[in-house]
A = this chain, B = another copy of it.
Amino acid sequence: MILKKTIKNSPESIVSLALTSETLTGRSGFLLAKAAQRVRDTYDEHLKTLNMNARHAGILTILEEKGSLAQNELGKCAYIDRTTIVALIDDLEKLGLVERQEHPTDRRSHVIYMTAKGKELMPQIGKKAKEVEKEYLGPLTASEQKSLIQLLRKLVFHHYSMPKETR
């Protein structure tokens, strides 16, 4: 990536450059923050018509894949804190897409299961996710897309596999 630089010689040392920092755009911290922000926007935009956001869709996707799960297991699957997931399940319950059930053996725990309405909606959610992925990853070739996913998976699995204290 070659960036055009037009340096104006100014006594005030104000220079006019391409509005991009080579250093910053070489750091994963900056790139991941900006990439995540934009892909989330895209997800939210596409899911707005279903009255949900990317995290709601993610929870439903886990339930579809794994079947009913305890609320804490669902949180671990989504890498979402137990205090954070409460409101998300609340939202999905209000939409009539999931319901909390008593856990058969642990009375502290809630089992989250998908309602018929939720199951009916899954094809639409899957379709939206596919659209977003296609749109967002569009600038990359198919092979590059695959590479990116694999590299990110490797990173995420590694950093979420250890307890917070030893990170």
Give the interface of A toward B (CB within 8 A).
1, 10, 12-15, 17, 19-43, 54, 58, 61-62, 64-70, 73, 76-79, 103-104, 111, 113, 129, 132-133, 136-137, 139-140, 144-145, 147-149, 151-160, 167
Contact = CB atoms under 8 A, between A and B. Distances in A.
Contacts of A33: 36, 39-40, 54
Tell me what chain A mostly uses at the interface: helix, strand, loop, or mixed: helix
Contact of A77 (B19, B29, B37, B159): B19
A164 to B, nearest CB: 9
A137 B155 contact: yes
B24 A58 contact: yes
Nearest to A109: B14
Given A14-B69, A133-B27, A21 B159 contact: no
Contacts of A36: 32-33, 35-37
A12 B68 contact: yes
Chain B CB within 10 A, most for which of A13, A27, A160: A27
